[in-house]
């Protein structure tokens, strides 16, 4: 009897452990795009919190985390339906490459050779061109380990979107038991080229689609930024944030300067690169007092693009009236990166990747709660 009981207990424990392991990553085939299978991967950590990602664009489509009362909600924009994953916002949640952000006039020179890229954000190239990596179906592999993870791989052929070299790239998402999205990038090339990778997830700590984000409190470990010209290209200057709307070295609401006059213009919002100081673990933190959700961004990259939406200032009137309408101001992005237009800016950190080298980088989005 004892043997039977012991065997039954062992079998039950084994089944429970196996079940937990099997439930860590679930795959659902959504359909096909240009003859390639598009799938949705659901990663569940020990706390039962969920990260959903697709191999189309290697993109994040859902992040469920609790608020201060333990109520879970999705805090990123996106969709779990094939039609919207493919035809919705092309950048939202996606892995961006070959070159994140803008390249001036769609041109750069490498070893005396000028390369021309497609213009998709006139007069510049944005996020790798019209058919950047955000629009590709990546190969996917569920990674075996203690925490749920999926590895996406893609081979970008020589001269794809005008960039030289065949680049082999991988993006691995790990969803930790600490509610961390750990994103590991790796890439090699067979010809000298330029690379700049990021993730373009949009966040709203109130919950996706639940109003404006300008009461979110932002802190950036960045005492300098790269000023832009009228076409959103860096001037080459690296300027102090002191006495500008770009000073988030101490905590401020995201909208604290929007609508005010700066340099003789009404300041309409943020789509700007910050130069990271690297003196703290987190390069950025965001706190939503209403939900208690707290977000940290950790990276080894030199820059961070803060995007707030560039609409009007009607949100201020709505906030006074206690309204929270959904709009272009209803989510923000914090994109870890090298600086925009780096191939044309000798004073910026290099983005050149040579044959025989491996580009490696890690970014972490960590979520928790604070009660005050």
Q: Are 269 and 323 contacting, i.e. CB atoms less than 8 angstroms apart?
A: no
Catalytic residue chosen out of the listed positions 200, 206, 216, 338: 200
Residue 167 has pLDDT above 80, yes or no: yes
Tell whether 37 is covered by a domain. yes
Q: What is the pLDDT of residue 291?
A: 97
H runs (alpha helix) in the chain: 2-23, 82-87, 314-320
Based on the domain organization, do 56 and 191 belong to the same domain? yes
Based on the domain organization, do 43 and 176 belong to the same domain? yes
Based on the domain organization, do 100 and 193 belong to the same domain? yes
Q: What is the pLDDT of residue 1?
A: 46
How large is the average pLDDT for residues 102-119?
Answer: 98
Q: Are 135 and 123 contacting, i.e. CB atoms less than 8 angstroms apart?
A: no
Based on the domain organization, do 34 and 166 belong to the same domain? yes
Based on the domain organization, do 167 and 231 belong to the same domain? no
Q: Structural domain tally of the chain?
A: 2
Residues 6+ apart with CB under 8 A from 22: none
Q: Are 183 and 199 contacting, i.e. CB atoms less than 8 angstroms apart?
A: yes
Tell whether 236 is covered by a domain. yes
Based on the domain organization, do 328 and 358 belong to the same domain? no
Based on the domain organization, do 282 and 355 belong to the same domain? no
Residue 294: Cβ within 10 Å count = 17
Q: What is the pLDDT of residue 310?
A: 73
Residue 372 has pLDDT above 90, yes or no: no
Q: pTM score, two decimals?
A: 0.90
Residue 166 has pLDDT above 90, yes or no: yes
Q: What is the pLDDT of residue 309?
A: 83
Tell whether 212 is covered by a domain. no
Residue 299: left (phi > 0), alpha (psi -120 to 50), or beta?
A: beta
Catalytic residue chosen out of the listed positions 161, 180, 296, 335: 335
Kindly report which listed range (6-15, 109-118, 277-286) carries the lowest average pLDDT score. Answer: 6-15
Compute the mean pLDDT over every residue in the chain, rounded to the nearest whole number.
Answer: 90
Q: Give the model confidence (pLDDT) of 320-333 as tens digits.
A: 444 444 455 789 99
Active site residue 200: yes
Residue 20, SS3? Answer: helix
Give 107-123 as a DSSP string.
EEEETTEEEE---SBTT
pLDDT band with cut points at 50, 70 and 90 for residue 17: very low
Range of the domain at 247: 217-337
Tell whether 19 is covered by a domain. no
Tell whether 128 is covered by a domain. yes
Based on the domain organization, do 240 and 364 belong to the same domain? no
Active site residue 357: no
Q: What is the CATH number of the domain that holds 296?
A: 2.70.98.10
Question: How distant is the alpha carbon of residue 365 from its chain centre?
Answer: 9
Beta bridge partners of 304: 274, 336
Query: How far apart, in Å, do the first and last CA atoms of the chain sit?
Result: 56
Q: What is the pLDDT of residue 322?
A: 43
Q: What is the pLDDT of residue 259?
A: 86
Q: Which residue has the higher pLDDT, 350 or 89?
A: 350
Based on the domain organization, do 35 and 106 belong to the same domain? yes
Tell whether 11 is covered by a domain. no
Based on the domain organization, do 74 and 127 belong to the same domain? yes
Residues 6+ apart with CB under 8 A from 360: 184, 185, 186
Kindly report each contact of residues 41-45 with a partner whose C-beta sits within 8 Å and lies 24 or more positions away, as own/partner.
41/140, 41/142, 41/150, 43/148, 43/149, 43/150, 43/173, 43/175, 44/148, 44/175, 45/147, 45/148, 45/175, 45/176, 45/177, 45/179
How many Cα atoms within 13 Å fall on the side-chain side of residue 55?
A: 26
Tell whether 343 is covered by a domain. no
Tell whether 15 is covered by a domain. no
Q: Give the model confidence (pLDDT) of 69-101 as tens digits.
A: 999 999 999 999 999 999 999 999 999 999 999
How large is the average pLDDT for residues 35-53?
Answer: 97
Q: Give the model confidence (pLDDT) of 119-141 as tens digits.
A: 999 999 999 999 999 999 999 99
Based on the domain organization, do 126 and 45 belong to the same domain? yes
Residue 21 has pLDDT above 50, yes or no: no
Based on the domain organization, do 123 and 255 belong to the same domain? no
């Amino acid at each position: 009897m004892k043997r039977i009981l012991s065997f039954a207990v062992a079998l039950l424990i084994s089944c429970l452990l196996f079940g937990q392991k099997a439930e860590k990553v679930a795959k659902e085939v959504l359909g096909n795009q240009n003859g390639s299978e598009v799938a949705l991967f659901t990663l569940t950590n020990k706390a039962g919190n969920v990260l959903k990602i697709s191999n189309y664009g290697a993109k994040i489509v859902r992040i469920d985390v609790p608020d201060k009362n333990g109520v879970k909600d999705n805090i990123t924009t996106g969709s779990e339906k094939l039609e919207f994953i493919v035809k919705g916002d092309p950048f939202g949640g996606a892995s961006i490459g070959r070159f994140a952000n803008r390249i001036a006039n769609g041109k750069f020179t490498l070893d005396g050779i000028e390369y021309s890229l497609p213009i998709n954000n006139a007069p510049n190239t944005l996020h790798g061109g019209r058919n950047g990596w955000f629009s590709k179906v990546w190969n996917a592999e569920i990674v075996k380990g203690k925490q749920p993870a999926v590895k996406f791989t893609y081979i970008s052929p020589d001269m794809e979107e005008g960039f030289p070299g065949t680049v082999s790239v991988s993006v691995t998402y790990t969803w930790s038991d600490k509610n961390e999205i750990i994103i590991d990038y790796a890439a090699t090339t067979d010809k000298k080229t330029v690379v700049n990778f990021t993730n373009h997830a949009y966040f709203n700590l109130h919950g996706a689609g639940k109003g404006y984000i300008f009461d979110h409190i932002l802190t950036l470990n960045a005492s300098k930024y790269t000023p832009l010209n009228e076409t959103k290209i860096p001037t080459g200057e690296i300027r102090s944030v002191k006495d500008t709307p770009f000073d988030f070295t101490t905590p401020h609401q995201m909208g604290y300067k929007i609508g005010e006059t700066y340099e003789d213009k009404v300041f309409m919002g943020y789509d700007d690169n910050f130069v990271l100081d690297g003196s703290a673990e987190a390069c950025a933190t965001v706190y939503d007092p209403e939900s208690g959700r707290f977000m940290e961004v950790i990276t080894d990259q030199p820059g961070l693009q803060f995007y707030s939406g560039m609409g009007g200032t009607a949100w201020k009137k709505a906030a006074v009236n206690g309204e929270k309408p959904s709009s272009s101001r209803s989510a923000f992005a914090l994109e870890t990166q090298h600086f925009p237009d780096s191939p044309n800016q000798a004073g910026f950190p290099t983005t050149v990747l040579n044959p025989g080298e491996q580009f490696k980088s890690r970014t972490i989005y960590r979520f928790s709660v604070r009660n005050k």
